[in-house]
Amino acid sequence: MTEYSDIFIFPLQYLEKTKIFNFSEFQAFDDTKPSSMLGIEIIDIGFDVTKIPIENSTEDCLFFSNEKIFETLGLYTHESVTKQGKIILFKKCIKEYSKRLKEEYLAYNSITDKEIEDIVYKIVLWHEMGHWMLHWFLDKNGNRWNNDTYRYQNLDDIILHEGIAQTFTCLTIQKAEKDGYNFTKLIFELMCLNQSPQYHKHTEIMKHINFSELSFLNAICEIRKSLRVPLINDLLNNL
Ligand SMILES: [Zn+2]
């Protein structure tokens, strides 16, 4: 069996290994810079985890795009396809949104406001990391997706990008759940309620008969090499 490292280094798995996503050690709501919270065991697997550009924004939360909540609470933004973008997490929006979740769905649950906030923060981070990985992560040949076929413009492009970002999020949640974070999956499912169809595409991807983490990563490597802008079916056909 081929190892991940042969195909595509899988940062979510790696980050988990380094305990960045361990609840107790995760300092997401501190104002410390991300790189300082990564000051733990760094294993040389070919890339520097401290270079993932994550920014905590304290901008006021002016509006909610209720059908695109993942892009309201966070963003992956870049100036051009040939430049690495950055992940921005809107802490005030996350706090506000978490409060709504608590009131609407979790009022009679034992989970605290802060716990909900931390989980929402992590889920949004994983989603945006999915966007970042799709764009910038190196495959085994040292390629990124920094050419003309990287596009986030039409609904077809958006379906592909969001489907992949959500799949990365789900894969990470599955790992987190194994560690006993039982509310993570529930909160993700609540976040997906009433979202536009592109935020549900991960179910189609993950239910595909050929789906596995490895085939998914491989398929991403393949579609990034496409000579035309790839569609979700190209991803599915490459699984
Ligand atoms: Zn997204």
Give the Å distance between the CA of 231 and the centre of ligand 1.
16
Tell me the pLDDT of the chain (239 aa) as tens digits.
334 333 444 455 545 454 433 323 333 323 333 333 333 233 333 344 455 677 888 888 877 777 889 989 999 998 889 988 888 989 999 999 999 999 999 988 888 998 899 889 888 988 998 898 898 877 767 778 999 999 999 999 999 999 999 998 888 888 766 655 678 899 999 999 989 999 999 999 999 999 987 788 889 888 999 999 999 999 999 99
Distance (Å) from CA 166 to ligand 1 centroid: 7
pLDDT of residue 68: 87
Q: Where are the domains of the chain?
A: 8-237
How many helices (DSSP H) and strands (DSSP E) are in the chain? 11, 3
Neighbours of ion ligand 1 (CB under 5 A): 70, 162, 165
* C-alpha closest to that of 223 among 214, 212, 232: 232
d(CA 144, CA 23): 31
| 217 Cα: distance to centroid of ligand 1 (angstroms) | 18
Q: Are 90 and 74 in contact (CB under 8 A)?
A: yes
Predicted local distance difference test score (pLDDT) of residue 199: 96
pLDDT of residue 23: 28
Distance 154 CA to ligand 1 centre (A): 14
168 Cα: distance to centroid of ligand 1 (angstroms): 11
**What is the structure's pLDDT at 163?**
97
Q: How far is the CA of 76 from the centre of ligand 1 (A)?
A: 8
Which residues lie below 8 Å from residue 1, measured CB to CB, with a gap of 6+? Answer: none
Q: For 73, phi and psi rounded to 5 degrees?
A: -90, -20
Q: Which residues contact 138 (CB under 8 A, 6 or more apart)?
A: 9, 46, 47, 144
CA of 100 to the centre of ligand 1 (A): 21
3-state helix, strand, coil in the chain (%, to 5): 50, 5, 40
- Are 27 and 42 in contact by the 8 Å Cβ rule? The answer is no
* 131 Cα to the center of ligand 1, angstroms: 7
Compute the distance from residue 172 Cα to the ligand 1 centre, in Å: 15
- Ligand 1 centre from 58 Cα, in Å? 20
pLDDT recorded at residue 181? 60
CA of 122 to the centre of ligand 1 (A): 14
Confidence (pLDDT) at 217: 81
